[in-house]
Structure 1
Amino acid sequence: MPKGLEKLNLSHNLYCGFILIRKNTIPSLKELDMSHNDLQAVYIHEALYRILLSYNDLTIACFNHENLRYLDISYNLHMPSEVCFEPTQIDTVIREGVAEGERLVGPISVRYYKPIK
């Protein structure tokens, strides 16, 4: 990757399976767009500001949400309501078509939230 890369747009490709971005592999990266692919799992350990993952087939999405301000996970129809990131710590989460409209529950809030059956 070029030094100083801040935005990476890999949308509308034929990526499938899973993506893993380890911490300090692209330290200057601020924004990642992987929308409109066929990803099932995403693991991002870099502290990004903006992540776009709409229109995939995600069931797992794990992020370092230290700096994350904007997340679009809309239209991932198989994504469950319990997620491994904390949605309450992200300024904007776009999630239409996710978890059948249920509230997203992260690792911190799962202690306080019990779904009504």
Structure 2
Amino acid sequence: PLMAGGGMYETGAGGSAPKHVQQLVEENHLRWDSLGEFLALAVSLEDLGIKYGNARAKVLAKTLDAATGKLLDNGKGPSPKTGEIDNRGSHFYLTLYWAQELAAQTDDAALAATFKP
């Protein structure tokens, strides 16, 4: 356990970052898959919501999880191949899906209104 009930939400490249940077510089294609970061962010928001009774943080966590699932279901993760979707496109779709989930949720009407078209 961490001091004062803290949490650690971490992901790593497993040594692949130099190859990703090389491909970005040479081909303008960033293949880095941020799935681990998306999952860590959702869990950290959920933890914040639980520890501090923050209902909005719980909504953010729940909708981010749903958006991440939609990203995976729709095959919008980054491809290692140049010319296909990369990290930038993947982040676009996560943002789009998260905004859609936030607009559709009914636990926080003010938050939903912020994201409705």
TM range (shorter): under 0.3
Higher helix fraction (1 or 2): 2
Task: Give the number of the structure with larger relative contact order, counting CA–CA contacts within 8 Å between residues 6 or more apart.
Answer: 2
Larger Rg: 2
Higher strand share: 1
